[in-house]
C-alpha cells in the first residue's frame, strides 16, 4: 500500500516537472510582449531670472540620456507670467542634430519628441524679460519665473 502511494506521488511529481519544463520551453520560444516602458529623465521647476544678457542661451545644463524616444514638455509654471522664455536643447557639441530645439515658450507650454541616439544632451532656458544691467535686485527677483521642464524616455 505504501508502495502504491509513493508510485502515484512520484508519477504526479514527474508529470508536474515535465509540464513545467514544457511550458518554460514554449514561453521561451515566444517571449512575452511588454509595452514600452517610460522612464522619467528630468522633472523640475527651474527658475529663470532676467540677466540683461543672453547668458542662458549657452550650453546650460548637460545630462546623459540613453537611446530611445524622448518626450519633452516645457512651460511656465503656475503663477509665472512675466513673458515668454527661450528653450534650447541639443546634443553636446552638435551631436545628434535631429534632436535640436531653439524655441520661444509661453504660458501654454510646448511638447517636443525626438528619437535620440543616446549620449550627452544640453538644455537651457532664458528669461526674455528686458532688464537693464544695473537694475535693482528686487526688480530682477520680481521678473523671475518658474519653468516646468519634464523629460521622459521610452
What's the pLDDT tens digit per position in 13-58? Answer: 544 544 444 444 444 444 444 455 788 999 999 888 887 665 544 5
Question: 131 is in which domain, residue-wise?
Answer: 39-153
In whole angstroms, how far apart are CA 54 and each of 9, 74, 104, 125, 128? 80, 19, 14, 10, 9
Q: Within this chain, do residues 70 and 143 fall inside the same structural domain, yes or no?
A: yes
Q: Within this chain, do residues 26 and 46 fall inside the same structural domain, yes or no?
A: no
On whether the pTM is more than 0.85, the answer is no
Q: Within this chain, do residues 25 and 54 fall inside the same structural domain, yes or no?
A: no
Q: Within this chain, do residues 15 and 58 fall inside the same structural domain, yes or no?
A: no
Residue-level pLDDT at 1? 52
* Cell, residue 120: 550627452
Dist. CA 35–CA 95, nearest whole Å: 29
Q: Within this chain, do residues 3 and 69 fall inside the same structural domain, yes or no?
A: no
Domain count, the chain: 2
Amino acid at each position: 500500500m505504501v508502495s502504491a502511494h509513493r508510485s502515484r506521488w512520484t508519477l504526479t511529481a514527474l508529470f508536474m516537472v515535465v509540464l513545467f519544463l514544457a511550458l518554460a520551453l514554449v514561453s521561451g520560444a515566444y517571449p512575452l510582449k511588454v509595452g514600452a516602458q517610460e522612464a522619467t529623465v528630468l522633472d523640475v521647476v527651474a527658475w529663470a531670472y532676467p540677466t540683461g544678457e543672453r547668458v542662458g542661451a549657452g550650453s546650460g545644463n548637460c545630462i546623459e540620456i540613453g537611446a530611445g524616444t524622448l518626450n519633452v514638455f516645457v512651460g511656465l509654471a503656475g503663477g509665472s507670467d512675466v513673458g515668454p522664455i527661450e528653450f534650447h536643447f541639443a546634443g553636446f557639441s552638435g551631436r545628434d542634430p535631429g534632436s535640436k530645439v531653439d524655441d520661444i515658450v509661453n504660458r501654454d507650454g510646448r511638447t517636443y519628441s525626438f528619437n535620440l541616439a543616446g549620449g550627452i544632451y544640453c538644455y537651457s532656458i532664458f528669461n526674455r524679460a528686458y532688464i537693464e544691467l544695473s537694475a535693482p535686485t528686487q526688480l530682477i527677483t520680481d521678473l523671475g519665473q518658474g519653468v516646468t521642464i519634464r523629460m521622459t524616455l521610452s
